[in-house]
Amino acid sequence: MKRSGSADLPLHYGQVPAWLHERMSKLGLAVVETMAMEYGPGEVIARFSDPFWFQSLGAVMGMDWHSSGITTSVMGALKKAINPHAKQLGIYICGGKGKQSTQTPAELLKLSELTGLDGDYLVKCSKLSAKVDNTAVQDGFQLYLHNFIVSSQGQWTVIQQGMNANSRTARRYHWHSGALTSFVSDPHTAICGQNTGRILNMADARADSSRAAIMSMAAEDPDRMLKEVAHLVLPSHHEVTAKDVDLKRLGAVLWLAHEKQPKDFEELLLLQGVGPRTLQSLALVSEVIYGTPARFTDPARYSFAHGGKDGHPFPVPTRVYDETISVLQKSIQQAKIGNTEKAQAIKSLTQIAQKAEAGFTPNADFDKVIEKERAESWRYGGRTVFGEAKKAGSQQLKLF
């Protein structure tokens, strides 16, 4: 069994405001439905097992780009939105935070009655993945969230999160059924973070003798450090800084949205009428749907789609958010009746931006880009957990 990665996140408390949670549910459903139509449920399950992609999804949905709250809020919004359409999508989300996590076995057994999947096996996988991360690997993080995402074909991903009260950080663990071999001998492709000393990892293959000794009642304390492969460590600072973002990639998106007009691209004719600010958001959402894993190494970049509820890098532009959802929903409905032109136009956004990157040299002032977004936030219905954005001065700032 391979864990596909993990992420260390600053611990954040507080509730997602209703106005954002509702939009997160709608956008999350549209993204997942588009991916399911394009790639099938199995690929959607695989995407959720990538910690970088998941963090990028949370950022594009308007959550604080770096915080532990992305996990609980995104999974809560997705479960609410996806499960009513689960049979159609072929994707089911079980479990959740706190007491909801304890309902995972019952939900999986109920799901097996509806789909014919082996419920006992799925329950075993759910329990073992939690036991490995909470008991076999003792790294100081106590699990408090467990989500089990399964397709109608039986592929699954586990997303679970633990808390370390001493360091005030959370650690998210991702598992994927794609390479199931063993839960107790090197099940991880990645489980690592900032080195805080030795930890107990009874799931390491090098601990085989220790496991055998324990089984024979002869204790042996294993002393093994974990391998660093696919792990995401996010900083504690709230603000989005230039060092958090691939400026070349962000610059290409801003160039596409604000310097070039959709009429310049034959592929985007079907999106005429969409303003440049919405085009910026659509380009980043398009990349979350169609981008390859290498595109998600800087999740902070995706916060430039819909900002963040804490105001970083700028307030959530609710009008732009609603227009993004509307465009995606219309493309999905048209694709269902065989008209895929609008869906292809959305897909082309990320393709055009990637082509532009090849010879692109960013020359924008990063801080002024953010300043411009904040200054114009009131135009787009900007909101944070602290209230609505207010109109500032009339100074016009240039991106390039």
Between 152 and 132, whose confidence is greater? 152
Instruction: Count CB neighbours of 386 within 10 A.
Output: 11
- Environment class of residue 233 by beta-carbon count within 10 Å: exposed (0-12), middle (13-18) or buried (19+)? middle
What average pLDDT does range 353-380 have in this prediction? 81
CB 193 within 8 A of CB 171: yes
The strand pairing partners of 174, in sequence order, are: 5, 159
Would you place residue 334 in the very low, low, confident or very high pLDDT band (cuts 50, 70, 90)? Answer: confident
For 237-266, how does the pLDDT look when each residue is reduced to its tens digit (9 = 90+)?
Answer: 667 777 777 777 777 777 776 666 555 554
Would you give the DSSP letter of residue 188? B
Q: What percent of the chain has pLDDT over 70?
A: 73
- Cis ω before 313 (30° cut-off from 0): yes
What number is the average pLDDT over the span 384-390? Answer: 91
Nearest residue to 306 via CA among 64, 82, 76 = 64
Task: Give the start-end residues of each E strand in the chain.
Answer: 2-10, 91-97, 137-138, 142-151, 156-164, 169-176, 200-201, 231-233, 316-317, 382-384, 387-388
* 213 — pLDDT class (breaks 50, 70, 90): very low
Which tokens go with 207? 């601990």
pTM above 0.85, yes or no: no
Mean pLDDT across the chain: 79
pLDDT at residue 354 is higher than 90:
no
As a whole number of angstroms, the distance between CA 136 and CA 115 comes to 32
Nearest to 342 by CA among 41, 53, 30: 30
Q: Which residue has the higher pLDDT, 92 or 243?
A: 92
